[in-house]
A and B are shown apart, each in its own frame.
Chain A
Amino acid sequence: MRINWIGIPAALIFLMIPSLSVAQDSVENLTPTDTSVSEMVTEDAAAEEIEAQPAAGELLLEADPGLDTSGMITVQDKPNDAGDQLVVTFEPAVNPEGIQCYNVYRRIAGEESEDAWNRVKVIPADEPPEFIDGYDPEYPIKPGIFYEYRIASVSLENVEYFGSVYGAEIAAKGELFHTNKVRLLIAGGLFITLIFYYFWKAQRGTKMYLRPIAGIEAIDEAIGRATEMGKPILYVPGISTISDVATIASLTILGRVAKRIAEYQTRIIVPNMDPIVYTVAEEAVKQAYLEAGRPDSYDPDSVFFLTQSQFAYVAGVNGIMMRDRPATNFYLGMFYAESLILAETGSLSGAIQIAGTDAVTQLPFFITTCDYTLIGEELYAASAYLGHEPKQIGAVKGQDACKAIVMSLITLALVLGILDLVANTHTLDWFRNLVTVSIVE
């Protein structure tokens, strides 16, 4: 029997056509009726899409009736900010069972992509459903831009269940005045006016008395001693930068001290830790020698930069003290942990020491080891004492007047406190509310 090799495959194809047709019909019949299969496919696709989002849970799904989601989201502009913060409040899930936290997502309104959602906050389920959006520098809020929010309830298994998307009805806006700083503005204005009043009074020639400060009066004596001994004077302008007011005060004193030193023809050594302070100090000393009529006596090597490392600077200054043996050491400005190491070494070297700082924690060290110490504000007043210029003295009197006001308020609070104790009233609380200024919002 001869086999028809072409006929066999042809017959097989012929037989397969009806079976393929039957299979296609069965699928077509199934699609419109059995929706569960379609939804399963859609859910899988959605899950794949959501999985691509950043910082989400291990497995991300669309809303599942198994875990309740949060309700309405309300967005408000935060007052007194630069237009970079929004206050977001939401209704927590009615049934919080199984929810460990809420993930808050944000995107710019109008963006359709799922990738545009950024997780901006995680709020534990037991915490208030409110937060200030805009703190995270990675996802800043920009003024004038509208955002959309959605919140996912996160299960104990770290699965996210998303609620609806809510668009913010307002955009963040920056304010022109910080309403919480009104009291500060009034107090600042009052104190500035007082200081200006005393400037004006001093300029008119009114004689003002300044109580003598031993540390400042000893400056001349200390310079004289160094001159007699033929030894140099060491001036340390602190280790802070020029942006520190104590450093600026120190540099103004340096100018006046250097002038006296130039008059006495003594050598001054000014090691600096900050390069900007060094340049200003150099100019101040140079000018002082010029004013004293001895520009030729100015030694360019007397003011120099040492190092920006704190303890290397201490080592350098201590080395100068032990090698050059200055007769007088001035430590005026801002100091930190090195204050005692400097002052104690100076004390061991036998020098007269005059210190001054507004660093409260370093004052005890200076008081213990130095002959004279300018405490806090005395450092700022020293320039006025040395210069004897009317406006400078006016500024010191202005400071005193400001302190008198504060002391009066403290006394009033004390009286009210006693009154509350005796008469069982609450006047101190009223007074406290009146004068308290919140520092941290």
Chain B
Amino acid sequence: MKRTVPLMIVMVGGILMMVQYFIPHQYSQVIFNNYLEWAPIVGAFALILGVGSLTRLHSHKIRRKAQNWQYSWAVLIPLFGMPFFALIVPQSLGGGSDVHGVHDFLFMHIQVPIQSTMFSLLAFYIASAAFRAFRAKSALATILLLAAVIVMLGQVPIGDVLGKWLPNTGLWILRYPNLAAKRAIMLGVGFGMLATNLKIIFGVERNWLGGAGK
């Protein structure tokens, strides 16, 4: 029962969603829209479990005085502090420039800059990864390096100055060999998705059921 009911729900739901794609009728659309509305509701309840998990993990670390346990306070204090401040000035949750609660201040002056900092690290990591990728150790690596140089120079104004062939060749590389490879991958991904979906819908793949799968 514990296994059959979820499998039946998945099978009926999966077939229904496949069939509804070909039925544009309003009743078919109602079913689809209802499904779309339910998904975030389930997600909202699962978030409670998520917050519970995070709290449990870090409270265990603090209790056990595990290695680096002090950092757990840095998680737990904002985890409960931010909703607390949002409750004091609930308007700050809606955003807008004329609301200046503590929550708003912390969000704008701590969270946003930290996130921007994390994102900006990407630039340095790209440079480091590019340095590693473009070392001409073999014939194929040399071709990769040459292609990269042409595409990069083709994208910047200096490439145009060096010669019209640079941006044109760069564009050709992007449009033909690059796009062909991308499409080949996407084609395989499409069939992979189809096979995975069929395996799940018809109960061949049951790992997602966790404990109920066996």
Contact = CB atoms under 8 A, between A and B. Distances in A.
Interface of A: 80-84, 143, 174-178, 181, 184-185, 191-192, 195-196, 199, 241, 243, 245, 248-249, 251-252, 254-256, 272, 274-276, 278-280, 282-284, 286-287, 290-291, 300-301, 303-312, 314-315, 319, 323, 337, 340-341, 344, 358, 360, 363-365, 367-369, 375-377, 379-381, 383, 391-392, 395-396, 398-399, 402-403, 406
A262 to B, nearest CB: 14
B49 A275 contact: yes
B192 A376 contact: yes
Given A276-B46, A312-B115, A255 B195 contact: no
Contacts of A252: 205, 207-208
Contacts of B115: 309-312
Interface of B: 21-29, 39, 42-43, 46-51, 53-54, 56-57, 60, 67-68, 71, 111, 114-115, 118-119, 121-122, 125-126, 128-130, 132-133, 182, 185-189, 191-200, 204-205, 207-214
A236 to B, nearest CB: 16
A272 B53 CA distance: 10
A278 B205 contact: no
Contact of A301 (B57, B121, B129, B198): B57
Given A279-B46, A323-B67, A287 B210 contact: yes
A196 B208 CA distance: 21
A380 B185 contact: no
Given A248-B196, A309-B115, A395-B196, 17 more contacts: A175-B24, A184-B22, A196-B198, A249-B192, A287-B214, A305-B53, A306-B54, A311-B115, A312-B114, A368-B130, A376-B185, A376-B186, A376-B192, A380-B195, A395-B199, A396-B195, A403-B187
Contacts, number: 205
A284 B209 CA distance: 7
A276 B21 CA distance: 25
B61 to A, nearest CB: 8
B188 A82 contact: no
Given A176-B25, A340-B122, A395-B199, A284 B193 contact: no
Contacts of B51: 305
7 contacts: A80-B24, A174-B28, A176-B23, A245-B193, A249-B192, A304-B57, A369-B132
